[in-house]
Amino acid sequence: MRQFDLDVPTILMTDTSDAEIAADVVEYGAFRYLSRPVATADLETTVRRAVLLHRMARLKRQALDALGGEGMRLTDQAALEGHFERGIAGIWVACQPIYSIAAGRMFAYEALVRNDEPSLPTPGALFDAAERLDRIHDVGRAVRHCVSQRIPTMPAEVFVFVNMHPRDLLDENLFDGDAPLSRFASRVILELTERASLGAVNDLVDRIARLRGMGYRLAVDNVGAGYAGLKNMALLEPEFLKLNMSLIRDIHLKPLRRHLVQSMAYLARELGIWAVAEGVERGEELETLAALGFDLVQGYYVGRPQRDLFEPTVRRLLPVVPGNASILQ
């Protein structure tokens, strides 16, 4: 019922008065739980109140839509499960290009999870539902399956960045040599965000070694937006660092940001790590990054995430201006 109408009230009548069962049905979204025999007056009162609250819920949802609210918070278990199932079934990946300034060509795509369920309109909403239902692994497997279907359509020299929840490291399917993504492991960079903790993965070193043995590479995402600390960096030993867009925004106007980004890029090179600048949205930002010695860039100026694959050209990205001629060559 919740899959068809989030707000319809459900009243359950039963012969048992078990408190544990009553708690379960309320968690799954029942409006009331009545033990038989039920007095007619009590039933009428319950139904009348349910109708009034149903009208209020509809009005609140209309108000949310009028104010431009994104989706809704699914509060009961049945509604959450129903919408999550549709979200999983409707998962697809949008590909955003990562460009190499030095090589003057596409370096990789980042595969970004999307789904067609209106009540879970963002990746954050989908992962929030997955965490509440303890179904993170289902999302991870669905994303990896989608990516495995896209890779054969990409140029052979192009890599693919795939976002991964830290708890995916506990899913043995990730390490299965027969899993759909495993046969493309040498072309895949698995991204772990700096915002999330790896503390739940007790045998992290062994699991990372297993992934590298399969051919995967690792990236730390959102560098500058969280603090993973030296321990996690040392344990992961990532091949890539992705600098958060907050560091890149207006970098051509912010001397402190330029200094920080240049220093981080230098240290990354010294460690043998590739740095990727995310969130490049203006030509001036791209030109500044190129002047600072940055190579890999990603953002709306390079290309927006979309279903169709495309390769931007270097002349579109870096118009010939004083100081850029050597980069174009």
Q: How far is CA 109 from CA 46, 90, 214, 245, 249, in A?
A: 55, 21, 20, 17, 21
Looking at the fold, whether 178 and 282 belong to one and the same domain comes out as yes
Q: What was the pLDDT predicted at 260?
A: 87
Cα–Cα distance, 71 to 81 (Å, whole number):
15
Our count of domains for the chain comes to 2
Evaluate whether 101 touches 280 at the Cβ level (below 8 Å).
no
Looking at the fold, whether 20 and 88 belong to one and the same domain comes out as no
Looking at the fold, whether 62 and 92 belong to one and the same domain comes out as no
Evaluate whether 74 touches 131 at the Cβ level (below 8 Å).
no
Which residue, of 41, 66, 91, is where some domain finishes? Answer: 66
Q: What was the pLDDT predicted at 73?
A: 53
- Three-class secondary structure of residue 254 per DSSP: coil
Looking at the fold, whether 286 and 318 belong to one and the same domain comes out as yes
Looking at the fold, whether 263 and 166 belong to one and the same domain comes out as yes
Looking at the fold, whether 212 and 321 belong to one and the same domain comes out as yes
Q: What is the mean pLDDT of the chain?
A: 83
**Is 223 among the domain residues?**
yes
Looking at the fold, whether 52 and 199 belong to one and the same domain comes out as no
**Is 216 among the domain residues?**
yes
pLDDT digits (tens, 9 = 90+) for 31-65: 788 888 889 999 999 898 888 877 777 776 666 55
DSSP H helices, the chain, are 19-27, 40-66, 77-89, 123-132, 136-150, 204-214, 229-236, 245-248, 255-270, 283-291, 314-317, 325-328
Cα–Cα distance, 64 to 61 (Å, whole number):
5
**Is 300 among the domain residues?**
yes
**Is 187 among the domain residues?**
yes
Average pLDDT for 284-300: 92
Evaluate whether 135 touches 147 at the Cβ level (below 8 Å).
no
Question: Phi/psi of residue 173, each to 5°?
Answer: -60, -30
**Which residue type does 327 have?**
I
**Which residue type does 109 have?**
Y
Looking at the fold, whether 195 and 319 belong to one and the same domain comes out as yes
Q: What was the pLDDT predicted at 1?
A: 72
Which residue, of 27, 45, 66, is where some domain finishes? Answer: 66
**Is 242 among the domain residues?**
yes
Evaluate if residue 321 carries a pLDDT over 60: no
Of 67 and 276, the one with more pLDDT: 276
Show the tokens assigned to 242. 């992705």
Three-class secondary structure assignment of 165-196 = CHHHHHCHHHHCCCCCCHHHHHHEEEEEECCC
Looking at the fold, whether 323 and 244 belong to one and the same domain comes out as yes
Average pLDDT for 134-152: 95
Burial of 15 (C-beta count, 10 Å sphere; 0-12/13-18/19+): exposed
**Is 54 among the domain residues?**
yes
**Is 2 among the domain residues?**
no
Q: Which of the residue ranges 67-71, 172-176, 245-249, 265-269 has the most confident prediction, judged by mean pLDDT?
A: 172-176
Question: Phi/psi of residue 108, each to 5°?
Answer: -160, 170
Of 170, 114, 121, 100, nearest in space to 142 by CA: 114
How many other CB atoms are found less than 10 A from the CB of residue 52? 11
Average pLDDT for 243-271: 89
Looking at the fold, whether 30 and 114 belong to one and the same domain comes out as no
Supply the CATH number for residue 151's domain: 3.20.20.450
**Is 4 among the domain residues?**
no
Looking at the fold, whether 59 and 102 belong to one and the same domain comes out as no
Angle between helices 77-89 and 123-132 (to 10 degrees): 130
Domain span including residue 28: 11-66
Looking at the fold, whether 59 and 93 belong to one and the same domain comes out as no
pLDDT digits (tens, 9 = 90+) for 206-245: 999 999 999 999 998 877 555 455 556 767 889 998 988 8
